[in-house]
């Protein structure tokens, strides 16, 4: 596991440690089972094609779960995620190399909390950001 | 509102009306499966002894777990039960989550939802209805553990 990140270690513009993903159709089936989202566009290719989609597509909620994993890994056990959100602007499909990352936009102290705000997103290998969002986390302080 | 608006008075009346509660009994194995499905090997979500060594009662749920886990023991139907969209297809437009307290295996979580807003837009595929729903999750002690906001695009 990575060393604990501290509030003093990040600045505006700092990058969030990227998380790489490449989904398989089997993973989408696992996600359907684990989440209960059995919408056929995620595992039934004919159904997806009949719905004007390029093929089976990755569940939006799975992408948001990956963003949560990225933030959780970055803040470590000493930090916590206050909130985050994202919009599903583009479709992503199994077999594509995907990167989840972000940049720090603001840092400040709010009472006992050392807060960091970020832009977060999922992007394809081409750099196209299909899933933009924001996050607010609390990091431990060395002070 | 334009004359050909798809948002009826019946739909507007559904805004802000809380659903019946859904009840989720949080258990270790579904947490492990969910973490495995996303590809997250963090021991807090898999290894009970590890989670306990960090001060938790049992495994804790990954971020987004409760908002993206659709197997409540008792389902309250969510905010959409009170009206029907004129469109058959639905896509997820976005999700937002706010976290207050960790959710742990052994918790009983009660969720109530409502429709926070309805909007319509003209898109490439014709008229679309944006359904914004908000859900509040409380644990067995009545504490709010999380809130979620989702945008469903019906078209």
**Domains of chain B from N-terminus onward:** 9-154 (3.10.129.10)
Using a CB-CB cut-off of 8 Å, the residues of chain B touching A113 are none
User: Which helix or strand (DSSP H or E) is residue A98 part of?
Assistant: strand A98-110
| Torsion sign (Cα): B59, A5, A122, A131 | positive
Q: Which of residues 90 through 129 in chain A touch B, CB cutoff 8 A?
A: none
What average pLDDT does range B36-42 have in this prediction? 97
DSSP class of residue B43?
G
| Torsion sign (Cα): A103, A88, B32, B39 | negative
DSSP three-state, residue B34: helix
Residue A41 near residue A61 (C-beta atoms within 8 A): no
pLDDT tens, position by position, A92-125? 999 999 999 999 999 999 999 999 999 999 999 9
pLDDT tens, position by position, B110-123? 999 999 999 999 98
How far is the alpha carbon of B44 from chain A, nearest alpha carbon, in Å? 9
Domains of chain A and any CATH numbers: 11-22+60-138 (3.10.129.10)
pTM of the model: 0.94
Residues making up chain A, counted from first to last: 143
Q: Do B94 and A88 make contact, defined as CB atoms within 8 angstroms?
A: yes
Using a CB-CB cut-off of 8 Å, the residues of chain B touching A87 are 93-94, 151
Using a CB-CB cut-off of 8 Å, the residues of chain A touching B54 are 77
User: A16 is written with which tokens?
Assistant: 């969030």
ipTM reported for the complex, 2 dp: 0.93
Provide the phi-psi class of A57: left if phi over 0, else alpha when psi is between -120 and 50, else beta.
Answer: beta
Residue B108 near residue B26 (C-beta atoms within 8 A): yes
């Amino acid at each position: 596991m990575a060393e604990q990140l501290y509030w003093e270690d990040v600045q505006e513009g700092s990058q969030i440690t990227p998380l790489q993903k490449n989904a398989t159709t089997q993973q989408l089936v696992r996600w359907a089972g684990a989440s209960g989202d059995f919408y056929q566009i995620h595992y039934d290719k004919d159904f997806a094609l009949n719905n004007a989609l390029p093929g089976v597509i990755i569940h939006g909620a799975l992408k948001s779960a990956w963003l949560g994993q990225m933030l959780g890994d970055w803040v470590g056990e000493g930090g916590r995620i206050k909130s985050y959100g994202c919009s599903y602007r583009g479709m992503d499909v199994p077999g594509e190399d995907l990167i989840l990352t972000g940049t720090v936009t603001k840092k400040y102290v709010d009472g006992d909390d050392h807060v960091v705000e970020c832009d977060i997103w999922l992007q394809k290998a081409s750099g196209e950001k299909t899933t933009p969002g924001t996050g607010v986390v609390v990091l431990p302080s060395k002070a | 509102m334009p004359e050909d608006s798809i948002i009826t008075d019946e739909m507007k009346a559904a805004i802000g009306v809380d659903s019946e509660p859904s009840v989720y009994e949080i258990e270790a194995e579904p947490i492990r499966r969910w973490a495995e499905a996303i590809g997250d090997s963090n021991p807090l979500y898999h290894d009970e002894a590890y989670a306990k060594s960090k001060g938790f009662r049992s495994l804790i749920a990954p971020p987004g777990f409760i908002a993206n886990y659709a197997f409540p023991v008792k389902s309250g139907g969510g905010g959409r039960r009170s009206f029907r969209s004129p469109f058959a297809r639905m896509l997820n437009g976005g999700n937002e989550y706010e976290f207050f307290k960790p959710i742990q295996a052994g918790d009983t979580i009660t969720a109530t939802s409502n429709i926070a807003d309805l909007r319509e837009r003209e898109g490439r595929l014709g008229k679309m209805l944006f359904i914004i729903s908000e859900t509040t999750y409380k644990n067995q002690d009545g504490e709010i553990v999380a809130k979620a906001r989702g945008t469903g695009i019906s078209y």
